[in-house]
Amino acid sequence: MAEGSAAVPSTELLEWPKKDRRRFLHAVYRVGDLDRTIKFYTECFGMKLLRKRDIPEEKYSNAFLGFGPEESHFVVELTYNYGVTSYDIGTGFGHFAIATPDVYKMVEDIRAKGGNITREPGPVKGGSTVIAFVKDPDGYIFELIQRASTPEPLCQVMLRVGDLDRSVKFYEKALGMKLVKKVDNPEYKYSIAMMGYAEEHETTVLELTYNYGVTEYTKGNAYAQVAISTDDVYKSGEVVEHVIQELGGKVTRKPGPIPGINTKITSFLDPDGWKTVLVDNEDFLKELQ
């Protein structure tokens, strides 16, 4: 074999992310008081506490919350590091979103429980969709979006990026996502791209936001990553490495099992430094049992 020819990936390999069984599993982020956040999410948002684990030897605890079982729904994975009560969210992380049939009623309920409403319910600027914004006890923003019905209420993770076209290409090529919607709003000097594995109202999407002229953001130390499922972390990892060479980014963990749990994963940063973890489908289901 000629030297260097192995570096050219096959068409079959590059098509793999589109054929793979992928979905958003969870968003991971850090909180200063686990019980306080669980109480807020269950009482104000109507989430269910799905599981909780304490790892004293590593000095942290996790709680998983969502609107349905982890086998089929996107959930939040909260991390509490012993003794750490606050974090810096940074300027790059935007918000999570929850779809609900009645935003006005949800806001009333949240307000009655002492929640912090940062934008009153009403139609989005220049549109008809009713939205509101709420801040959780750690300062994470949740957008509430009015939708008649949805199979996945936890429906968005919004991240700010410095080059929208580059990010869209990265998530299409490295993760097999589809561009489900793109909106340019010159009046307010921003553009958004919704990336996902199905239409926006059917599933969770990644909302990438580009603010005109802003190429860099601070990441802080609060939001960590999204996890996405795959049938083959090794093959997926190979694709990611190739796309990173073309568009930028960094592999932070080569494909392989996590010591102690044996779930196979790989993790990497996109060109803006946002982290994704790919998790083996079968190993993930075993972990839940």
Q: What are the residue numbers of the active site?
A: 143
Dist CA 270 CA 266 (whole Å): 13
* Tokens encoding 79: 């991390």
First-to-final CA distance of the chain: 45
Whether 143 has a binding-site annotation, put simply, is yes
Are the beta carbons of 239 and 18 closer than 8 angstroms? no
How far from 126 is each of 16, 96, 183, 187, 195, CA to CA, in Å? 39, 21, 12, 10, 22
Torsion of CA 18, 19, 23, 25, to 10 degrees: -110
At 195, which helix (H) or strand (E)?
strand 190-196
What is the DSSP code (8-state) at residue 124? P
Torsion of CA 249, 253, 255, 257, to 10 degrees: -160
Sheet order of strands, 24-30 included? 48-55, 60-66, 75-81, 24-30, 223-230, 275-280, 264-269, 250-257
- Among 136, 117, 23, 134, smallest CA distance to 78 is for 136
Q: Which residues fall in the annotated binding site?
A: 77, 95, 143
Q: Which residues fall in the annotated binding site for Zn(2+)?
A: 77, 95, 143
